[in-house]
């Protein structure tokens, strides 16, 4: 018998998305009592780390929160995706970490979202790992710059930041250590693919070392599943495995494979600005709301 349009998978998907949007619009999201600083890290490449940083930050700004993205990946992809210039002669996070320039002097406003600011990365950051080695308090330089920036905003009568996202390089060097020391929380994106958890133990060991020696309040607060394809058994197996290891940390929201998410950076936009009605944008809006609703 021919399947009716109302019973088709597409109709079911559209109804599901309508229900999810309705639920999302009914949420009353509250500002955190203090600034939450999240480092987004995974030393595996291609897991959606920068994509998640950019789109979660954009989703929160879209909901009225004051958000800062700090790009400390020498590739500068987060800067690109948010439409922030980051040519070699741009003042950037490199100048903050190496030359003690104030964060206030390098912060740029995202052109698409009023409440989203960005500290860009430039190619100079590629040599920062080596240059940091000889500097005093090399692991705390980002933390101190952030604290000074918070005081600067207060002195200027600016609203307190609600969220700070630090986008790390896919490695565990001094740049990532600076991010861990500056943050209270670690958000780990994990792709729903084979070998999803490979190498994660090394990342968790490093976080434990930071907790022990440099930042006792640091914790893994959030696991975000990315590149999810509900049609495959593999994706379901990965979700089960991640939940088995991180029952309290994993978000129920999953980020699907999405053409719109993939296209948005080429237009120097987040998926929220590029196509807010897309499935990918909905997923990031849901994930952002879940982060807000979870207790710090």
Question: Model confidence over 62-108: pLDDT tens digits?
Answer: 999 999 999 999 999 999 999 999 999 999 999 999 999 999 999 99
pLDDT-derived band at 7 (thresholds 50, 70, 90) equals low
Across-strand partners of 223? 188, 250
Is the predicted pLDDT of residue 158 greater than 90, yes or no?
Answer: yes
Task: Show the tokens assigned to 103.
Answer: 């964060």
Tell me the CA distances in angstroms from 222 to 132, 189, 230, 275, 279, one per residue in order: 29, 8, 21, 25, 21
Residue 199: per-residue pLDDT: 77
Is the predicted pLDDT of residue 264 greater than 90, yes or no?
Answer: yes
**Mean pLDDT over residues 233-241, rounded?**
89
Is the predicted pLDDT of residue 5 greater than 60, yes or no?
Answer: no
Q: Which of 171, 178, 117 is nearest to 143 (CA)?
A: 178
pLDDT-derived band at 1 (thresholds 50, 70, 90) equals very low
32-58 pLDDT tens trace: 999 999 999 998 888 899 999 999 999
**Mean pLDDT over residues 135-147, rounded?**
95
**Mean pLDDT over residues 135-159, rounded?**
96
Q: How far is it, in rounded angstroms, from Cα 52 to Cα 63?
A: 16
Is the predicted pLDDT of residue 2 greater than 60, yes or no?
Answer: no
159-211 pLDDT tens trace: 999 999 999 998 888 999 999 999 999 999 999 888 888 878 889 999 999 99
Contacts 24+ apart (CB under 8 A), 265-269: 265/51, 265/54, 265/77, 265/80, 265/81, 268/80, 268/81, 268/82, 268/83, 269/81, 269/82, 269/83, 269/112
Query: What percent of the chain has pLDDT above 70?
Result: 96
Residue 226: per-residue pLDDT: 94
Is the predicted pLDDT of residue 296 greater than 60, yes or no?
Answer: no
Query: What percent of the chain has pLDDT above 90?
Result: 74
Q: Strand 250-256 to strand 219-228: parallel, antiparallel, or no bridges (unpaired)?
A: parallel
Is the predicted pLDDT of residue 3 greater than 70, yes or no?
Answer: no
Q: Domain 33-293, CATH 3.40.50.1100 — does that match?
A: no
CA atoms within 13 A on the CB side of 21: 13
The residue with tokens 């907790």 is 211
| Dihedrals phi, psi of 265, to nearest 5 degrees | -60, -30
Is the predicted pLDDT of residue 213 greater than 80, yes or no?
Answer: yes
Task: Show the tokens assigned to 127.
Answer: 């040599």
pLDDT-derived band at 26 (thresholds 50, 70, 90) equals confident
- 40 three-state secondary structure: strand
The better pLDDT of the pair 37, 129 is held by 37
pLDDT-wise least confident of 20-29, 136-145, 159-168: 20-29
For the full predicted model, state whether its pTM sits above 0.85.
Answer: yes
Residue 194: per-residue pLDDT: 82
Mean predicted lDDT score pLDDT of the chain? 91
Q: Which of 133, 136, 222, 218 is nearest to 173 (CA)?
A: 133
What is the per-residue burial (b if ≥16 Cβ within 10 Å, else e) of 103-142? Answer: bbebbbebebbebbbbbbbbebbeebbebbeeeeeebbbb
């Amino acid at each position: 018998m021919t399947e009716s349009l109302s019973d088709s998978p597409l109709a079911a998907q559209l109804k599901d998305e309508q229900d999810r949007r309705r639920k999302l619009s009914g949420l009353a999201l509250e500002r955190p009592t203090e600034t939450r600083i999240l480092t987004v890290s995974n030393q595996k490449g291609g897991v959606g780390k920068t994509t998640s940083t950019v789109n979660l930050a954009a989703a929160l700004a879209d909901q009225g929160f004051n958000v800062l993205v700090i790009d400390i990946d020498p590739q500068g992809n987060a800067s690109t995706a948010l439409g922030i210039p980051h040519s070699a002669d741009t003042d950037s996070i490199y100048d903050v970490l190496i030359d003690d320039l104030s964060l206030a002097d390098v912060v740029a406003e995202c052109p698409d979202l009023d409440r989203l600011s960005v500290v860009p990365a430039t190619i100079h950051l590629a040599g920062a790992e080596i240059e940091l080695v000889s500097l005093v308090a090399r692991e705390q330089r980002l933390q101190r710059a952030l604290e000074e920036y918070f005081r600067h905003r207060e002195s200027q009568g600016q609203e307190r930041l609600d969220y700070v996202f630090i986008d790390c390089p896919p490695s565990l060097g001094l740049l990532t250590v600076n991010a861990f020391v500056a943050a209270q929380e670690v958000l780990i994106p994990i792709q729903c693919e084979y070998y999803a958890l490979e190498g994660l133990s090394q990342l968790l060991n490093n976080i434990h070392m930071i907790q022990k020696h440099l930042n006792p309040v640091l914790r893994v607060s959030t696991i975000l599943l990315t590149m999810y394809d509900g049609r495959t058994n593999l994706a379901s197996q990965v979700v089960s495995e991640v939940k088995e290891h991180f029952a309290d940390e994993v978000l129920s929201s999953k980020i699907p494979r999405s053409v719109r998410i993939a296209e948005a950076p080429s237009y120097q936009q987040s998926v929220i600005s590029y196509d807010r009605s897309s499935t990918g944008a909905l997923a990031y809006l849901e994930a952002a709301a879940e982060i807000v609703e979870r207790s710090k």
